[in-house]
Amino acid sequence: MNAYLVGGCVRDKLLGVPVKDRDWVVTGSTVEDMLANDFSPVGKDFPVFLHPKTHEEYALARTERKSGVGYVGFTVHASPEVTLEEDLARRDLTINAMAETDSGDIIDPFNGQQDLKDRLLRHVSPAFIEDPVRVLRIARFAARFNFQIADETQVLIKQMVDGGELEHLVAERVWQELSKALQTPQPSIFFTSLRQVGALRVLFPEVDRLFGVPQVPKWHPEIDTGIHVMMVIDQAANLTEDITVRFASLCHDLGKGITPKHILPKHTGHEASSIDLTQRLCERLRVPKELTTFALKVAEFHTDVHLLFELPAERALQVMEGLDCFRRPERFEQFLLAGEADFRGRPGYETVEYPEKRVFAECYTKASEVNAHQFVEAGMKGEEIKTAMHTARIEVIDDILSQYRK
Ligand code: ATP
Ligand code: MG
C-alpha cells in the first residue's frame, strides 16, 4: 500500500498558508486491507477511512463517472489498480490535483504548481462540467486566494450555466459555499467571479440585479449599487470575522434592485423591498435562523444609523428595541458594525470618521442603564413601570442627540 498527501493540504503548503486538514490517497490497497490495518470506515458513497492513530482521512484511489443529473449522479470505481494519476484526474482544479510522496516529492500531472505561481484557477479535464458545485467552489477559491479563473475554464462554466446545470444545485450546497465565501478576506471576489461567468444571475439574482442601479447621488458618488454592496461586504470582512454581520451586509440594500427610480434618490424607501428579498433569499437557501433574523433587522434599520443626527429620540429607541438589544447586547454591536461597513463601502469613505456609530453606542449604553429598579422603589407596578422606563430612555437619548442635531 502507498499513501500520498493530496488536494487542499498540498496546495496550501505550497502557497505557504496554514494547512487545515490533511487528506491522503491510498493506491494498491483494498477495503479489506484497510480494515485489517485497523482503519475505520467512514465513507458512505466511496471508500474513505480514518487512520487508527492520527484520525486523518485516507481514501482509496478512485475514478468517477457521471451517471445521472445533478452533482449526485456519479458512479465510483475504486480498486487496487486505480493509479494516483487517475485519482488526481477526477479532481476539479489543477491546484487541487497535486500529491506529495512521503519523501516530499510533488506529483503534479496537470501543472498545478505553475497555475499557483500564475494565480490561476484552471479545470483539470472537460469532466469539470459534470458537477455544478465546482462553479461555486471556483468562485470561493478566487475569493480566498485572490486568483483569476483561466479563460478556457470560464468558457466551460458559461456552457454549464447556459445548459441549465446550476439548476441542479441543492440549497444546502449553495449555502455551504456562500457561507465559506463570506469567511474569505475579500468576499466580493466570490460574487464578481460568479458574475463574470454569468452564474450570479442564476444563483443570486437579487444580487445580480443591483449592478447597473444608480446610488443616491448625495451619499454614493459615482457608483452603482452592485459595486457599493461589493465594497460593503469587503468592509464588513475587514471589520469583523462575524459571518452574521457579513451576511447582513450582503443583504442590506437588496431592495434597491427593484425599487422604482423615483424613490431611489431619497434616503429611504427601499427597506420594505430589502426585507422582502432578504426573507425570500434566506428561505430559498435555508439560511440559519439567527443570520436571517439579523439580516432582516439590518435591512429594516440600517438607514437609521446614518440618519441618527436627524432622528427623533423615539425612533432611535425603536431601533434598539426592534433589534431586541436590551436583552441581547451583542446585537447592537453587530448592528453598528454593519452600519459602519455600509458607510465605508463607498469610494473615499474607507477611513473617514463616522461619529454616528460612536454616538449611537453612547445612546445605547445610557438607555440600557435605565432599569426597572428605581421605578419599583417608587412604588410603580407592571405597565406603569414599562411606560416610565420608556420615557426615561427617550429622555437620556434625546439629551445626547440634541448635542449633535444641526
Ligand atoms: P478547503 O481548504 O476549503 O477544505 P479543499 O481543496 O481541501 O479546500 P475539500 O472540499 O476538502 O477542498 O476537498 C478536498 C479535495 O477533493 C480537493 O482539493 C479536490 O481535489 C477534491 N474535490 C473536492 N470537491 C470536489 C468536487 N466537487 N469536484 C472535484 N474535486 C473535488
Ligand atoms: Mg479540505
Q: Is 183 helix (H, G, I), strand (E, B) or coil?
A: coil
Distances (CA, A) of 396 to 229, 328, 338, 369, 381: 34, 20, 24, 10, 22
pLDDT one-digit tens code per residue, 319-330: 999 999 999 999
Lining ligand 1 with CB less than 6 A are 7-8, 20, 23, 91-92, 96-97, 131, 133-134, 137
Report, as an integer, the average pLDDT of 259-274. 69
Ligand 2: distance of its center to the CA of 24 in Å?
A: 11
Predicted pLDDT of residue 226: 95
Higher per-residue pLDDT: 372 or 292: 292
Ligand 1: distance of its center to the CA of 198 in Å?
A: 23
End-to-end CA distance of the chain: 77
pLDDT one-digit tens code per residue, 212-247: 888 766 655 568 899 999 999 999 999 999 999 999
Q: What one-character-per-residue DSSP string does 346-358 give?
A: STT-TTS--HHHH
User: Exposed, middle or buried, 23 (CB in 10 Å: 0-12/13-18/19+)?
Assistant: middle
Atom of ligand 1 nearest to the CA of 71: 27
21 is in an annotated binding site: yes
Report, as an integer, the average pLDDT of 368-393. 93
Report, as an integer, the average pLDDT of 107-112. 98
134 is in an annotated binding site: no
280 is in an annotated binding site: no
Predicted pLDDT of residue 50: 97
Alpha-carbon gap, residue 386 to 400, rounded angstroms: 22
User: Exposed, middle or buried, 109 (CB in 10 Å: 0-12/13-18/19+)?
Assistant: middle
Ligand 2: distance of its center to the CA of 81 in Å?
A: 25
Predicted pLDDT of residue 267: 56
Q: Whose CA is nearest to atom 18 of ligand 1?
A: 7
Alpha-carbon gap, residue 164 to 92, rounded angstroms: 19
Contacts 24+ apart (CB under 8 A), 140-143: 140/177, 140/180, 140/181, 140/184, 140/190, 141/93, 141/95, 142/189, 142/190, 142/193, 143/181, 143/184, 143/185, 143/186, 143/187, 143/188, 143/189, 143/190, 143/193
Q: Ligand 1, from 45, 64, 90, 92: best to mutate by most atoms within 8 Å of Cβ?
A: 92
Residue 4's nearest CA partner among 110, 102, 138, 119 is: 102
Q: Find the helix or strand (DSSP H, E) in which 398 lies.
A: helix 382-401
Average per-residue pLDDT in the chain? 93
Distances (CA, A) of 233 to 193, 202, 218, 332: 15, 20, 21, 18
Ligand 2: distance of its center to the CA of 156 in Å?
A: 24
CATH class of 1-118: alpha beta
Outline where DSSP puts E strands in 44-88.
Answer: 48-50, 57-60, 62-66, 74-78
Q: Is 66 helix (H, G, I), strand (E, B) or coil?
A: strand
**Identical fold, 1-118 and 204-401:** no
Q: How confident is the model at residue 257 (pLDDT cuts 50, 70, 90)?
A: confident
Predicted pLDDT of residue 213: 86
CB-based neighbours (< 5 A) of ligand 2, an ion: 8
**C-alpha cell, 96:** 487541487
Q: How confident is the model at residue 266 (pLDDT cuts 50, 70, 90)?
A: low
Ligand 1: distance of its center to the CA of 203 in Å?
A: 21
pLDDT one-digit tens code per residue, 185-219: 999 999 999 999 999 999 999 999 999 888 766 65
Angle formed at CA 229 by CA 227 and CA 231, multiple of 5 degrees: 70
Domain boundaries, the chain: 1-118, 204-401
Q: Which residues contact 222 (CB under 8 A, 6 or more apart)?
A: 347
pLDDT one-digit tens code per residue, 37-83: 999 999 777 899 999 999 999 999 999 888 776 556 778 899 999 99
The number of the ligand nearest the C-alpha atom of 137 reads 1
Predicted pLDDT of residue 217: 62
**Sign of CA pseudo-dihedral 69, 63, 154, 191:** positive
CATH class of 204-401: mainly alpha
The number of the ligand nearest the C-alpha atom of 48 reads 1
140 is in an annotated binding site: yes
Is the pLDDT at 265 greater than 60, yes or no?
no
Predicted pLDDT of residue 271: 87
**C-alpha cell, 68:** 445521472
